[in-house]
Amino acid sequence: MGISPAPVGAWWFAWIALVPLWIYVKRAQGQVCLAMRLGLMWGVGYQGAAVSWLTGLHPMTWMGLSWWTSLTIAVVCWLFVTVYGALIAAFWSGWMAWRAFKLPIYSRILVGTAAWTTLEWLWTQSPLWWTPISYTQSPANLVILHLGRISGPTVVVAALVMVNGCLAEGWTAIRHRWRYRGTAIALLIGLHLLGLSLYLQPLQANQDTALDIGIIQGNVPTRIKLFKQGLELGRKNYEAGYRQLADQGVDAVLTPEGAFPFLWRDQPPLVEAIQEKQVVAWLGSFMPEDHRITQSLITVLADGSILSRYNKIKLVPLGEYIPFESLLGGVIGRLTPVSTQMNLGKPDQQFLTPWGPAIAGICFDSAFPQLFQKQAAQGGEFILTASNNDPYNTRMMAQHHAHDVMRAIETDRWTVRSTNTGYSGVINPHGQTLWRSQPLVFATHAATIYRRQTQTLYVQWGNWFLPSLVVLSLIAAAPSFINTGK
């Protein structure tokens, strides 16, 4: 399962990778602790491989840390995130061994699917999340990702678990093995045909809604970003990129998260160039708020004034803020070079532009689909994401791009990505990547996108599929639970 996500993209393994866990947990029926250990082992394998890029935090000697301290921090972060994500498989396995395998086969498949999707949903409500099994399909299997238009990534997760469950039951069943294997094959084909029907819907390119956007990938390494060398390189790269794109006739220019890593003050960098070229810019910087700061994306108009700002909602724990600060603030040393504690952005923000509302996301926000769904429901017509993926390697860059591909499909919106070191890109509403930058280079690109006001079922109703699935699974399981109780 660990090689299913980008950049390896062996997405087909995800349709069978749960089968061994399902079989071994079934054999451990009634042995909850054993089942949880099996689930934890599976989860560590998947999560550990998927987020192995976290070790790229090392070395952090530029922050004044010793080499060994830096290595320790990077390994601890990787292990913590790995185990935290692996708990999903552990809890799921414990539940299945405790109750679900007492049910008839189709009921247990339904209950197992509902249990996994519920656990993943709970994790998306937490401050730390990255590795839904649905993202194993992105960006390679765009057809199945179109099920996200129905009710977000939950539908893709349910499809994966259900097919794996049918295959596992077909492997272990004493009778009617081919019935369950046939069900798995029928589900696999049927779900892909449903996704294909959504994928083949034509995109309307109305020139009245066209918008030419320039992208700057500044390529300013984090290790020098806050020092004189990095600040000068940033000013130089972003001003040169802005002027180049303005001369190409774009309507607006997008910069990455933290392109200007200091508090926004009177006459900040690039404003003179903006006033001269008269081209709107979306700039990544820090904004003061209640004696703290926010990680923000700012809409700067042609006269240099600020029209709107979007504050990052999902800050990186320990890197950008301290969870439970009143309890842990005096104990945990922060890993971020920013000297002021950050405020989390509010989830009900609306990001206005001269062309109407947009959907904004800053870096870690991309892993949380509900943030994009809410903004689309409020009228957001296109997606802008700004990120800083340094110091991580291309594995992380590819996975971050994969998340934005899913958000573009779910909301049926054109997406423009600007990152510091890669991958920047342009994605259409069908998830097709029209342009993706090379990593670790300074780059600019101009692209035409189209504003859209369509409303997918997911945008209109949110994650309606999950409660429906839970209720259906309870109805299916209730008779067996009642009989077992007697």
Here the CATH number for the domain that contains residue 263 is: 3.60.110.10
pLDDT band at 92 (very low <50, low <70, confident <90, very high): very high
- Across the range 271-280, mean pLDDT stands at 95
The answer to whether residue 5 is domain-embedded is: no
Q: Are residues 189 and 269 in the same domain?
A: no
User: Is the model's pLDDT at 484 over the cut of 80?
Assistant: no
pLDDT confidence of residue 333: 46
Q: Are residues 351 and 375 in the same domain?
A: yes
pLDDT band at 322 (very low <50, low <70, confident <90, very high): low
Q: Are residues 359 and 439 in the same domain?
A: yes
pLDDT band at 336 (very low <50, low <70, confident <90, very high): very low
Buried b (16+ CB within 10 A) or exposed e, 108-138: bbbbbbbbbbbbbbebbeeebbbbbbbbbbb
Cα 48 to Cα 68: distance, rounded to the nearest angstrom:
21
Catalytic residues: 257, 312, 363
Indicate the number of domains in the chain: 2
The answer to whether residue 359 is domain-embedded is: yes
User: Is the model's pLDDT at 116 over the cut of 60?
Assistant: yes
Question: Residues with Cβ < 8 Å from 272, sequence gap 6 or more?
Answer: 304
The answer to whether residue 150 is domain-embedded is: yes
The answer to whether residue 2 is domain-embedded is: no
Q: Are residues 215 and 303 in the same domain?
A: yes
User: Is the model's pLDDT at 14 over the cut of 80?
Assistant: yes
Q: Which domain holds residue 222?
A: 207-454
pLDDT top residue among 314 and 60: 314
Tokens standing for residue 411 = 């909301």
Q: Are residues 85 and 222 in the same domain?
A: no
Q: Are residues 330 and 217 in the same domain?
A: yes
Q: What is the pLDDT of residues 394-438, one digit of tens each?
A: 999 999 999 999 999 999 999 999 999 989 999 999 999 999 999
User: Is the model's pLDDT at 315 over the cut of 80?
Assistant: yes
pLDDT confidence of residue 329: 47
Residue of 76, 72, 78, 49 lying closest to 59 (CA atoms) = 72
Q: Are residues 141 and 216 in the same domain?
A: no
The answer to whether residue 479 is domain-embedded is: yes
Tokens standing for residue 41 = 């082992």
User: Is the model's pLDDT at 340 over the cut of 90?
Assistant: no
* DSSP assigned state of 363: G
The answer to whether residue 1 is domain-embedded is: no
User: Is the model's pLDDT at 155 over the cut of 60?
Assistant: yes
Q: Are residues 124 and 219 in the same domain?
A: no
Q: Are residues 20 and 92 in the same domain?
A: yes
Question: Residues with Cβ < 8 Å from 3, sequence gap 6 or more?
Answer: 10, 13, 49
pLDDT confidence of residue 153: 97
pLDDT band at 483 (very low <50, low <70, confident <90, very high): low
The answer to whether residue 234 is domain-embedded is: yes
Q: Are residues 297 and 388 in the same domain?
A: yes
Cα 122 to Cα 80: distance, rounded to the nearest angstrom:
18
Q: Are residues 177 and 240 in the same domain?
A: no
Q: What is the pLDDT of residues 368-403, one digit of tens each?
A: 999 999 999 999 999 999 999 999 999 999 999 999
Q: Are residues 342 and 432 in the same domain?
A: yes
pLDDT confidence of residue 175: 79
User: Is the model's pLDDT at 276 over the cut of 90?
Assistant: yes
On average, the pLDDT of the chain sits at: 92
Residue of 294, 410, 305 lying closest to 346 (CA atoms) = 294
| pTM to 2 decimal places | 0.94
The answer to whether residue 4 is domain-embedded is: no
Q: What is the pLDDT of residues 105-115, one digit of tens each?
A: 999 999 999 99
